[in-house]
């Protein structure tokens, strides 16, 4: 399935931006901001403001951005004409008197974004509207140890089914994948539980099949973007997303942009060391955070302590059993959340982001788990005067956050929010 035409409205510079990329490739380490880039940047920032704050009038946007109203008009008018944005009905303003404001927001019928969530053995694809709505979800399974061609066939079929529901060509496709991802080159490096994906240049493959911009990043970073877009991270300039489960991972939103690290390798927190010469980890080293805060540890401890059904223990069940009066569950929950807290403490000491959104198993423990973790972090961190550390769970279904985030990856990579 190929889309012949790109959507009429370009969100920033879609094509590899001529000069800036050229400068980068020339080895130049400085890049001046060109006149035209400035326009694209400011357009992107206005859209970002809409994502962050929901429908807003031109005057509100001008106030938020601290610029002239006419500037906003100049920016949004072409977007309205291109049907990217729509003007809502005049809402009765809360201030007395004056012409009522016309709120602007994304056109639900604007081109959508393709999103793929790739976990060992399963593919989920969907369309995400700029308003955050999720449509045309399709799921498929693949053999994690099977044939590469077979996987590509399943992937193509799934994505085709989803994309064919779109009325117009999407802006692009975002892929969130488990494992170790090289987001610069668009390849999957390794996925522990799905060897078939090792070394797969998925971006190149999908770009060729669908003639659309394709972005890939690892799962925690998609969660981060999803949080930022329509979750607890909305509007925040600094926070981290932390994923716990069979493995541990994280991703950071720093000073208003997604942090990637070189080749997109930042945030592999699972293998930071919290216990020198501690227990052996899957990675071959000792004392990784993953050895004390992931599900395998929890299962082992549950078995050791004689809790019922230790093989299927989760944080959610632990909370439930603790609430029902199980002392063992209560104690294990405390130790588990304390171990999780250590990773967050190290993050806090390093980056001082002050805000953390939990995903995965501990998120299943809800507010109770989050509060326990927060208390442990408070105790373990070196306090600074006036510092407040916030730890929340993303209540929305995790798949949805990841899918929205995968879609958001396309935006954040093409919106030129950064210079």
In order of 1, 124, 179, 214, 391, the CA distances from 157 in angstroms are 9, 11, 22, 16, 39
Q: Is 15 in the site for DNA (CB under 7 A)?
A: no
- Note whether 114 and 170 are within 8 A (CB): yes
Cα distance between residue 54 and residue 50, in whole Å = 5
Indicate which single residue of 59, 86, 129, 154 sits in contact with DNA (rule: CB under 7 A).
59
Question: Looking at 9-17, 60-68, 215-223, 373-381, which segment touches DNA (CB under 7 A)?
Answer: 60-68
CA–CA dist 81, 177 (Å, integer): 36
26: partner contacted, choices a copy of itself, DNA, none (Cβ within 5-8 A by kind) = a copy of itself
Please report whether residue 28 would count as binding a copy of itself according to CB under 8 A. Answer: yes
What value, to the nearest 5°, has the Cα angle with vertex 308 and ends 303 and 313? 70
Rounded to the nearest whole angstrom, what is the least distance from the CB of residue 315 to DNA in the complex? Answer: 46
Q: Which of 14, 102, 209, 335 binds DNA (CB under 7 A)?
A: 102
Instruction: Give the closest residue to 108 by CA, choosing from 168, 161, 45, 42.
Output: 168
Least distance CB 322 / a copy of itself (angstroms): 22
Longest dimension (CA), the chain: 70
**Is residue 95 near DNA by the rule CB under 7 A?**
yes
Q: Does 67 bind a copy of itself (CB under 8 A)?
A: yes
Q: Which is nearer to a copy of itself, 258 or 403 (CB)?
A: 258
Judged by CB under 7 A, the residue of 9, 14, 52, 67 near DNA is 67
The reply on whether position 183 binds a copy of itself by CB under 8 A is no
State yes or no: residue 351 binds a copy of itself (CB under 8 A).
yes
Determine which helix (DSSP H) or strand (DSSP E) holds 340, and give its type and residue range: helix 327-351
Is 54 a binding residue for a copy of itself by CB under 8 A? The answer is no
139 vs 296: CA distance, rounded Å: 27
**Using the rule CB under 8 A, which residue among 122, 346, 375, 390 binds a copy of itself?**
346
Is 90 a binding residue for a copy of itself by CB under 8 A? The answer is no
For DNA, the closer CB: 70 or 185: 70
Binding mask 23-42 for DNA (x = CB under 7 A): ---------xxxxx-xxx-x
H or E element in which residue 114 lies: strand 113-119
Cα separations (Å) of 202 from 61, 83, 127, 172, 414? 38, 31, 19, 14, 18
């Amino acid at each position: 399935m190929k889309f012949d035409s790109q959507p009429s409205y370009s969100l920033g510079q879609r094509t590899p931006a001529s000069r800036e990329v050229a400068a980068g490739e020339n080895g130049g380490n400085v890049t001046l901001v060109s006149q035209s880039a400035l326009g694209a940047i400011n357009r992107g920032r206005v859209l970002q403001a809409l994502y962050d704050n929901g429908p807003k009038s031109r005057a509100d946007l001008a106030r938020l951005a601290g610029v002239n109203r006419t500037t906003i008009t100049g920016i949004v008018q072409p977007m309205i004409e291109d049907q990217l944005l729509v003007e809502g009905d005049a809402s009765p303003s809360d201030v007395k008197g004056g012409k009522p404001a016309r709120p602007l927001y994304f056109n639900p019928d604007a081109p959508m974004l393709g999103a793929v969530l790739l976990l060992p053995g399963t593919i989920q694809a969907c369309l995400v509207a700029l308003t955050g709505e999720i449509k045309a979800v399709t799921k498929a399974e693949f053999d994690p140890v099977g044939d590469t061609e077979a996987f590509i066939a399943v992937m193509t079929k799934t994505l085709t089914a989803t994309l064919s529901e779109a009325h117009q060509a999407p802006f692009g496709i975002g892929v969130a994948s488990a494992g170790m991802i090289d987001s610069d080159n668009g390849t999957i490096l390794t996925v522990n539980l799905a060897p078939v994906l090792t070394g797969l240049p998925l971006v190149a493959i999908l770009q060729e099949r669908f003639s659309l911009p394709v972005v890939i990043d690892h799962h925690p970073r998609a969660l981060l973007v999803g949080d930022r877009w329509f979750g607890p991270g909305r509007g925040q300039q600094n926070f981290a997303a932390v994923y716990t489960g069979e493995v541990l991972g994280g991703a950071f939103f720093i000073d208003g942009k997604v942090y990637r690290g070189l080749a997109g390798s930042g945030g592999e927190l699972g293998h930071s060391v919290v216990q020198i010469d501690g227990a052996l980890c899957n990675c071959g080293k000792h004392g990784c955070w993953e050895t004390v805060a992931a599900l395998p540890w929890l299962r082992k401890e549950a078995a050791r302590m004689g809790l019922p059904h230790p093989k299927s223990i989760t944080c959610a069940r632990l909370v439930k059993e603790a609430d029902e009066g199980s002392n063992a569950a209560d104690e294990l929950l405390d130790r588990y959340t304390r171990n999780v807290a250590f990773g967050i403490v190290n993050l806090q000491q390093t980056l001082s982001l002050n805000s953390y959104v939990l995903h995965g198993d501990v998120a299943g423990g809800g507010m109770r788990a989050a509060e326990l973790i927060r208390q442990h972090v408070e105790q373990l961190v070196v306090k600074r005067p006036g510092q407040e550390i916030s730890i929340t769970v993303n209540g929305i279904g995790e798949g949805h956050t990841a899918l929205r985030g995968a879609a958001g990856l396309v935006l954040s990579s093409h919106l030129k929010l950064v210079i």
